[in-house]
Structure 1
């Protein structure tokens, strides 16, 4: 190839984002040999066609993929490359989680601070409650607390709460043993989710507070540590206290309601209560109307929701029936199990341009 069509190593380094020393290393390792080497001077030259491979190589190394994995991705087709990338990312995430747990053990040993026993809960009950409540979390830049789980222990009960500001889910649990301390904190949601499998397999889980975190102590299983989030949790008690009087109450079977929400084409849903039933109507297409058998008391009401807000609130309810406590078309609706009220989810409606 004529030298006029080749790039010296410095130019190719700028084009690819790799340093000259990195290019020499990758050439020697066989991942990116130069297109030509001057036999007299030893200068290395690269072609324009090598830029794409060099750029991909750089990106793979930026996500800490080892050289063997880089070579496999570079030399494979798209489907195999996708699989290798997914495997690598999964391993990185697993390694990070393991490192975080080991760091918590090291910090505990360095600090010599004894843990403060909080309470003990049945593992399967706690696992279910965590999964139910944490459907109301969200990942927002600058607001990590919205992805956290609030835990509050009193002498009578333990309450789990999560909110994404549009939904708030809370569940009260009866401790297996009387709580030894009153305690409140917001734990990292991802770490709590990661511990759910072990929690579910443990007959009893003891919660123990330490500086900057809690330990989940489980017999015959590895203890798990969850970090505390420093940010202040939203004042959910004030929101719950200011909900207002219930004007309409609807009891409806959970599964038919979920199925109707799944099958309805609209992304904005209106619940229309009248007489002794309830209809699901699309906010954007009033002609799509799905009637549902329900027991409705109080005022007729039309209240609108985003599907992404209403569906998770209904799906996590316990038991075959859900109860909707409505307070008007601009007030939060409380969604709870008709036969068990210890899981409660207030959900925010949206404005509608259509009159009732």
Structure 2
């Protein structure tokens, strides 16, 4: 390779984001040998065409991939490399979840494994369904100060326990009657990922005792290992105030859940408009560029057109219990309440989008 196309190790280090010492290590390990080594001085030079490999190597190491796996990924075809990266990340995530659970158990043992304060005892399948329902309203990513939006807010009283979650575009609440009376009321916001990881075991347990312990809750299940869920320190949004300030319902539509979901699936746009009138519910494009999908519905009140992002409305409808959903509307720019027509203990709010954002 001509000298004009080579760069010394220092320059290559700046280009690739790797230190000179790391480059020497990767050269000695065979992952990234230099393009040329001066036989007299021993100076190493790299080619411009090696920058991409070096950058990929650095990024793979940043996600804690072992050297042996890094080499396999770098030498694999694109599709196989992507599969190997996904497989590695899944392992890291699984290890992290297991480590969190083990750490919670260790902390419990170090604290003497004192009995927690019973805040609710619920049938496992009932609790698992409720957790699944409200988790659809949690945020999947967050920034500084918004980790609480990935959690589930728990309010445990003597007569009921209420779960709530919101990502500020949706709000989902579910109230359950405990199988046993709680010892004391309790309020806190639990890490959503911890609850999500425990759902399968909860579902297969006849009875789940929820106990308040320092820094979280403990789920106790017969013949199964205890599960610990971390307490989030941030304050949960005042969802009760939000519900109380919604205003009067001006339009109510009851529609078959499966038909509405199918219409949302078949609609090609990322944003949809619901045209609600005495004739039923029509699922259309906001700008009417696609034919509408008419749905039979029972409608009372004023005719109304309201727009939603499909990613907001679809999960809200899909979690409804039973064959029919009831939409309570208050105007084109107000949250819509989505309820199961035959179950009032599950309520979901979905925020519409403004006309200028849906065109």
TM-score normalised by structure 1 residue count: 0.92
Check the 8 A contact 2:307/2:353 in 1, yes or no: yes
Q: Deviations over 1:103-158 (max 9, x none)?
A: 11222222336322211111111111111111111233121111111111110111
Deviations 1:175-202 (A, max 9, x none): 1222222111111112211211221122
Q: Map of 1:82-93 to 2, 5 A cutoff?
A: 82-93=82-93
- The DSSP-based 3-state class of the residue aligned with 1:205 is strand
Matched, 1:26 2:26: yes
| CA spacing shift, 1:15–1:323, aligned 2, 3 Å | closer
2:125 alignment counterpart: 124
1:45-93 deviations in whole A, cap 9, x for unaligned?
A: 3333333222222221111110110111122211211111111111111
Determine whether 1:62 maps to 2:65: no
Evaluate the alpha carbon distance shift between residue 244 and residue 37 of structure 1 in structure 2; reply closer, same or farther with a 3 A threshold: closer
What value does the CA root-mean-square deviation take over the aligned residues?
Answer: 2.1
Moved over 4 A (4+): 1-5
Matched residues, number: 353
CA deviation map 1:334-354 (0-9, x unaligned): 11111111111122233448x
SS of the residue 1:239 aligns to = helix
SS of the residue 1:225 aligns to: strand
Contact 2:340–2:346 (8 Å) recurs in 1:
yes
Show the counterpart of 2:241: 238
Query: Aligned-pair distance for 1:319?
Result: 0.5
User: Is 1:346 equivalent to 2:349 in the alignment?
Assistant: yes
The corresponding residue for 2:112 is 112
TM-score after normalising by structure 2: 0.91
1:255 aligns with 2:258: yes
Q: Distance in 1 between matches of 2:290 and 2:70?
A: 55
- SS of the residue aligned with 2:127? helix
Structure 1 pair 78/300, CA: closer, same or farther in 2 (3 Å)? closer
> Aligned to 2:296, what secondary structure does the other structure show?
strand
Q: Distance in 1 between matches of 2:307 and 2:56?
A: 47
1:210 corresponds in structure 2 to 213
Question: For structure 1, which segment, 288-297 or 93-102, has the greater mean C-alpha deviation from structure 2 after superposition?
Answer: 288-297
- Which one of 154, 161, 165 corresponds to residue 162 of structure 1? 165
What runs of 5+ residues in structure 2 fail to find an aligned partner? none
Call closer, same or farther: CA 1:2–1:218 in 2, change over 3 Å.
same
CA drift of 1:172 comes to 0.8
Partner of residue 275, structure 1 = 278
In structure 1, the residue matched to 2:80 is: 80
Q: Secondary structure at the match of 2:189?
A: strand
Do 1:155 and 1:178's aligned partners in 2 also have CA atoms closer than 8 Å? yes
Distance (Å, rounded) in 2 between the aligned partners of 1:281 and 1:50: 51
Deviations 1:266-324 (Å, cap 9, x if unpaired)? 43333333225222232211773322111122333333323222221111100001112
Q: Is the 8 A contact 2:119 2:157 kept in 1?
A: no
1:101 offset after TM fit, Å? 1.2
The change in CA–CA distance for 1:242 and 1:14 in structure 2 (over 3 A counts) is closer
SS in 2 for 1:95: helix
Per-residue CA deviation, residues 240-281 of structure 1 (Å, 9 max, x unaligned), is: 112222232221111111111222234333333322522223
Q: Once the 2 structures are TM-superposed, how far is the Cα of residue 4 of structure 1 from its aligned partner? A: 5.3
